[in-house]
Amino acid sequence: MGWRYHCGMPVSYATLDLSYNPINYISDIANGWNISRAVDFLCLFFKRISRSSSHAQLILDRINLICDCTDFPFFSQIAFAKKSSFFNLVFCRSTPQTPYKVANYKVTRIPLDQFVCELTERCPSSCRCVRRPANATLHVYCSNANITVLPFELPELPKSYTKYKLDFSNNRFLRRLGRRDYFVDTSVLDVSNSRVQVADSVLDWKVILQIPRLNLYGNRLTSFPQSIVSVNVTTDELNVDNNPWDCSCDSKWMSDWFGSVANRLVDVVRCYSPPRLRGKNIVQMSDAELCGCCRCCCQESMDNQYAVGRRCAHSTAVRRLPRLPSASEAVHQIEVPSIRPRRVSRRRHGLRRVPELQF
């Protein structure tokens, strides 16, 4: 028609009755009237939304819609129209696109988070991809899908503000965690209860530790690369519990690093090895506990012989190490045993006295 409407425009008296028509989406009606925004469409028929007096009326009695996420912008405005008869006799019909939980219900009685779209394009095999406009997310469900590597591509995000929520949990053959381009648009990454042992490099962790919610619970991680201390961690919730963390002396730097991100940890990080430290909170471990008291004291004694035992004060068996003698003192302290000639017994060694010859 060439006519375009937007909120605030004056409207003459008009009635549009589309009852009992095989309409799939409310957006189809709006598009036919050159109305691209749901709010403009509702302004046309509802005085409570419009800033001007609207005298137009739309009748949709006994309309059975496809209730996926397509009409979410219209359904989200239902709260403004509950006192009107606009949606009173609009139902969700049973179709492959309509979630079974909402089929045959009135659209006014369905929670907004139930209007979702199943996506198939670029969705990884054995996974399920669902767009949920109610919380502006695109969920990728790959839990227990027997994947061996993270997918390299995912369905495109419909809006710039939409974020991925990725569930790659319970995959026993997933052993390596590498960065992906879609991580920058991810709000949740769940790789819990898998077999992840390592990430490719610290560059991977630099990207991964920017994801707001990161769940690595129950994997095979034993350590991080030490260069991770230079990474700016912005993750809000980090779960790395129930991993076999190595708390040996070579990994004592991790105690300080975990302490620096303690406010982001959702659970306690406990040591697994060595056995003497198993089950202890790595954040609360001292260098003396991580390296063993004897090694700690020996190291400090070389730095300051009067400071021996300072960091090992927690031990009840700590003793001051004795001062070692100098080289000259050691020489004078050497005792040289006296050597006396030994008398050899003839009889013992089987020797006989030879008689003297007489002439």
* Digit-coded pLDDT (tens) for 141-174: 999 999 999 999 999 999 999 999 999 999 999 9
The answer, yes or no, to whether residue 295 has pLDDT greater than 50, is: no
pLDDT band at 338 (very low <50, low <70, confident <90, very high): low
Scored b (16 or more CB within 10 A) or e, 171-194 reads beebeebbbbebbeebbbbbbbbb
Q: How far apart are CA 285 and CA 302, in angstroms?
A: 23
What is the per-residue pLDDT for 308?
A: 36
What is the per-residue pLDDT for 70?
A: 93
Q: How far apart are CA 99 and CA 225, in angstroms?
A: 45
Q: How far apart are CA 70 and CA 67, in angstroms?
A: 8
Task: Say what percent of the chain tops pLDDT 90.
Answer: 47
pLDDT band at 305 (very low <50, low <70, confident <90, very high): very low
pLDDT band at 334 (very low <50, low <70, confident <90, very high): low
* Nearest CA-CA partner of 193 in 141, 258, 142, 144: 144
Domains of the chain (ranges, CATH numbers): 14-114 (no CATH), 125-287 (3.80.10.10)
pLDDT band at 327 (very low <50, low <70, confident <90, very high): low
What is the per-residue pLDDT for 75?
A: 86
Q: In the 8-state DSSP scheme, what is residue 93?
A: -
What is the per-residue pLDDT for 172?
A: 94
Q: Which of 104-108, 177-181, 294-298, 331-335 has the least mean pLDDT?
A: 294-298
pLDDT tens-digit readout, 230-251:
999 999 999 999 999 999 998 8
